[in-house]
Amino acid sequence: MSSSPLLSLRNVCVSFDGADTPGAVLRDLSLHINAGEVLCLVGASGAGKSIASLVALRLEGHDGAVLSKGQILLDTPDGQVNLAKMDTAQLRALRGKQIGLIFQDPSTALNPVMTVGAQLVEILSLHRGLSSQAARAEALTLLHEVQMPEPELHLGQYPHELSGGQRQRVMIAIALSGAPRILIADEPTTALDVRVQAGILTLLDRLRRERGIALLLITHDMGVVAQIADRIAVIEAGTIVEEGTVREVFSAPRHPETQRLLKAAQSGPTTRQLASDQTAVLEVRSLSLNYPRRSGLLRRVTGQTAAVRDVSFGIDQGETLALVGESGSGKSSVARALMQLEPYATGEVLLEGMSLTRSRGAALRQERARIQMVFQDPSDSLDPRLTLGAQVAAPLHNFKVGARHTRNARVEALFRLVRLDPALMQRYPHQVSGGQCQRVAIARALALKPAVLIADESVTALDAPVRAEILDLFARVQAELGLAILFISHDIGTVSRIAHRIAVMHRGRIVEHGPTSAVLAQPAHGYTRALLDAVVHPDPERRRQFDLPRKADRLGDMPDPEVAVQYRCIGPKHFVLSA
C-alpha cells in the first residue's frame, strides 16, 4: 500500500444550519484510505455514515447540508487537490473518474425509464468519450466483470425486471465505468439475501484486488466488517470515536459505542422452549398459489407460474415459526395468502379452527382483524401525513372498537407496551428514528388484539442494536399476549434469536421444517446448508476466502414441481423434503 493516502478527510464539519456546533451532523471528522485498502466506516443509524460518503464527493448539499469547515484531499495523477475548494465543473470532472459511488438502494438510484444498457452507455459516453457502439461493447464487458448472468439479455431490460442482487451488480458496473481509483459503497448489502450478500462481498473484494482500487465500505453490519475490512473507523454522532485494524478493534474495543455494536452482532442463538399443551391458532393445509405469466409487448397472459407449492404448517398459541428463504422463494406470497390478499389455487387456511378460505364480505373483514402484519419498511407502511398516535388509533376507528374518549387511553397503553414514550404520539414519522417507527408499526398491529402476528422482514433494514431491541420486543409482547407469530426473514442468523421452529422455503416449497436448534445444528437439506454457509460471522478469525460458487443453483437437487413429494422425518419433529 502507498504511504500517501488516496483520500483524506480532515476536520470536516457538515451541518444543516451552516454552524460548526451544535447541530452539526459531522463534527471534526477525520479519516483516510490508502490504495488497495478496505476501510469500513461503521456506526448506528443516524451516526453520520452516509453524509460522510456524500461529502467525500461533495454531494452533501442535495438535502440542504452545508460543508462549513475542513479539507477533502484527493491524490490524483496530476497531484493532490482539495475538493472543498472546487467548483461544480471541477467536481464533475472528478466524480466517476476518480471516485465511484455505489448507493444503498439501486431501485431508487437507477433510472426506471431507461434500460440497463442505455444507462451504462450514457455514463461511458460522458466519462470516457466512447462512441455508442464502443460504449455498448464496454457495457457488456462491465456486466461480465460483475458476473451478471446472461449480460446480453440484461442490457435490454429495465431495472424493475431485475432482482435486487442483479440491480446491485448494475450499480457496481456503473460505478466502475469511469475506472475510478476509489470506490465508495454505502450499505450495498443491507437488504439483500445472505447468499446474494456473500456474492456482492465476493465481487467487491475481487474487484478491489484485481483493479487495486481503495474501497470505503459504509455499513452497520459487524459481520460484513469482520469478513472484508482491513481497517475500521467507528462513527458516533458525526465523530470518529475509534479506529484501527479489524483484529485490533474486534479483539479489544475501547469505545462504548464499538463495544455496543459488537455485543449486538455477536449475540448467539437463543433457545426458546414452548409448552407442549398449547392450542393451535393457525393451520395452513396444502396451500398452492399461482401468478399469471405474461410475455410480449402487450404483456398478454400466456400461462401460470407456481409461487407456492403444497405448503403446510401450523403455529400454536405463544409460538414463533420462522419462514426462511431467499427473495422469490414464496415467503411473502404465503403471508399475503394468509391475509386473504391473494387468491390461492388450492389449500385451506384455518384461524382458531375457522376456515378463512370460504369467508367473504363482512365476515372476512372481522376475521382479518385477528391476523395483523408488520411490514418490512415502516417509512412505506406509515402515513407521513398522520401523527404516530393517529396511526395507532386508526384500526380502532376503522373497526369501531371502544368509545371515542377511551381510544386515546388505549393508544397510550399500546405505546407503553412497545416501550415508547406516549409524548411521541404527537410526532410524525419523519421526526423519529427507524427503530421507533417500527415500534409504532408493531403497536398499530397489536391495536385490535390479534391472535396471529405476521412480521414480514420487519428487522431487515435496522442496525444490529436496534434489531436486537425489536426482536426482544417481539418476544416480550408474545409472552404477555400469547401471540402466535409468523416471522418471515431471509436471514437465518436473525431468526435463531426469536423462533421456536424454522421452516425453510425454496422455489415455493418448504424443504426443511423443525425445531430451531435442530435445523441450525444439523441442517439436512442442501439449501438449508447453503443458507447457513453464506451467513457472515462477526469474527475476523472466521474470515471466509470469498470463493463462493458463481452459479446460484448449486444447492442440491429439488424435485420437479409436477412430481409428488413427501417429507422424511430425521429427528423429533424435524422433517426434510425428499422426492
Residues 6+ apart with CB under 8 A from 241: 234, 235, 255, 257, 258
257/287 same-domain check: no
343/289 same-domain check: yes
State the pLDDT at residue 449: 93
Expressed in percent and rounded to 5, the helix, strand and coil fractions of the chain are 40, 25, 35
SS3 275: coil
- pLDDT 10s digit of each residue in the chain, 579 long? 446 799 999 999 988 765 555 556 888 999 999 988 999 999 887 788 888 888 988 988 766 678 888 999 999 888 899 999 999 889 888 888 899 998 877 878 899 999 999 999 998 998 888 899 999 999 999 998 887 878 888 888 888 888 777 888 899 899 988 889 999 998 888 767 777 777 788 888 888 888 888 999 998 888 888 888 999 999 998 899 999 999 999 999 999 999 988 887 776 656 566 655 667 899 999 999 988 776 655 557 677 778 899 999 999 999 999 999 887 788 988 998 998 888 888 899 999 888 888 777 888 888 888 999 998 778 778 999 999 999 999 999 999 887 777 889 999 999 999 989 999 999 999 888 778 888 999 999 999 999 999 999 888 777 777 888 888 899 999 999 999 999 999 888 788 888 999 999 998 999 999 999 999 999 999 999 888 887 777 777 776 654 443 333 333 344 444 445 688 888 888 888 875
Residue 216 within any structural domain of the chain: yes
State the pLDDT at residue 553: 35
Residue 298 within any structural domain of the chain: yes
202/142 same-domain check: yes
Which tens digit of pLDDT belongs to each residue from 526-551? Answer: 999 888 887 777 777 776 654 443 33
CA distance 355 to 325: 27
Structural domain total, the chain: 2
135/43 same-domain check: yes
Residue 330 within any structural domain of the chain: yes
CA distance 177 to 88: 21
103/204 same-domain check: yes
Residue where a domain terminates, one of 265, 295, 318: 265
Residue 275 within any structural domain of the chain: no
Return the H-helix or E-strand segment holding 201. Answer: helix 194-211
- Domain CATH code at residue 128: 3.40.50.300
Residue 5 within any structural domain of the chain: no
314/254 same-domain check: no
294/166 same-domain check: no
Tell me how far CA of residue 303 lies from CA of 291, 347, 507, in angstroms. 9, 20, 18
- Side by side, the strands of the sheet bearing 99-102 are 99-102, 182-186, 214-219, 38-42, 231-236, 239-245
Which tens digit of pLDDT belongs to each residue from 401-459? Answer: 877 778 899 999 999 999 899 999 999 998 887 788 889 999 999 999 999 999 998 88
**Residue appearing with cell numbers 495523477:** 77
Residue where a domain terminates, one of 196, 230, 265: 265
State the pLDDT at residue 78: 84
53/135 same-domain check: yes
State the pLDDT at residue 19: 53
Residue 78 within any structural domain of the chain: no
C-alpha grid cell, residue 72: 477533502
Residues 6+ apart with CB under 8 A from 389: 408, 411, 415, 424, 425, 426
104/244 same-domain check: yes
* Segments forming the whole domain that contains residue 295: 280-370+450-578
CB 52 within 8 A of CB 218: yes
Residues 6+ apart with CB under 8 A from 483: 317, 318, 450, 451, 452, 453, 477
CA distance 265 to 319: 25
Which tens digit of pLDDT belongs to each residue from 344-362? Answer: 888 999 998 888 887 778 8
292/248 same-domain check: no
Peptide bond into 22 cis (omega under 30): yes
C-alpha grid cell, residue 559: 424435485
Residue where a domain terminates, one of 204, 236, 265: 265
SS3 70: strand
Tell me how far CA of residue 63 lies from CA of 34, 66, 92, 192, 433, in angstroms. 29, 9, 18, 26, 18
Half-sphere exposure of 538 (CA within 13 A, CB side): 21
State the pLDDT at residue 370: 92
261/311 same-domain check: no
State the pLDDT at residue 3: 60
Residue 331 within any structural domain of the chain: yes
237/313 same-domain check: no
Torsion of CA 422, 427, 432, 437, to 10 degrees: 70
Residue 287 within any structural domain of the chain: yes
